[in-house]
Amino acid sequence: MGKPQVYCHYLNSIDYQKAWDYQEKLFNQSIQRKIEIRNNGDGPAPQNHLVFCEHPHVYTLGKSGDRSHLLINEKELIEKEATFYKTNRGGDITYHGPGQLVVYPIFDLEQFFTDIHKYMRFLEESVIKTLADFGIKGERSDGLTGVWIEPNTPHARKICAMGVKSSRWVTMHGIGFNINTDLTYFNNIVPCGISDKSVTSLSKELQRDVDMNEVMPVFLKHISSEFDFLPKDYVL
C-alpha cells in the first residue's frame, strides 16, 4: 500500500461561511464513502483534502467556547467590518483575517493513524518546522494547543491557533497561522479563552513583510513529510 494522496485546494480569500460549506461538502463526501464501504465491504477509500485560504475579518467560537470572550457588540463588529460565527469545531474563540494562513485538512485518519491527539501534535509539528525554516523557534505550551513563541515565560505569545472536528475518523476545521495578520483584531477577544498571553505573527517576529506564497509551499513540504502523504493539486 502506497502513501495516501492529498488533494490541495487553493481558495485564496474566501468568506468564512462559503469556506465552511466547502469543507462540509468534502467532509460529508468522505463520511458517505466510508458508510458505503462499510455496507458493501469494499470500494475506493475516501479522498483526502487540504484546503488553503484566507478569510475576511471574522471571529469564530468553538462549540465549548464562551460567548463572553467576544469583547465587542454587534454594532462594533459592523464598524470593524467583521462577522461572528458559532462553529462545530473544538476550542474557544479565535480570529481569522487577511494575512492569516488558514489550513483545513479533511483527512480520513484511518489512512494515516486513528489518534486525534497525535493528529493535533502532527499539525503543530508541521507549523514548528515551518517556523524553523524562517529562523523562528516555535514550541508547544504545556497543557495548551497551538504553536507558541517563548512558551512558559512572561513573553509567551501564540502564532498559530488550532481547532478541529472529527467524525468517523474524518477531520475538518484546522489551523490559523498568523503571517501578516493585523494583530489589533485580537484585542476584541480573549483569544482561545486565554487571557494572560499575547499573540504574534511571522512578520512581527521577523520584522519584515512576509508573503503568504513564501509560507504555503514550506508548510506543505512539512505537513506532507509529517503525515507521509503525496500532495496533488485539486482540479475541478
Instruction: Count Cα atoms within 13 angstroms, Cβ side, for 122.
Output: 21
157-167 and 198-199 beta bridge pairing: parallel
DSSP-assigned beta bridge partners for residue 177: 101, 160
- The span from the CA of 205 to the CA of 155, in Å, is 13
| List of residues 6+ apart from 228 with CB closer than 8 A | 3, 4, 112
Q: Catalytic residue among 8, 53, 160, 192, which?
A: 192
Q: Which long-range contacts (CB under 8 A, 24 or more apart) does 147-151 make?
A: 147/177, 148/197, 149/200, 149/205
Has 192 been annotated as catalytic? yes
- All three cell numbers of 170: 474524518
Residues classed as catalytic: 192
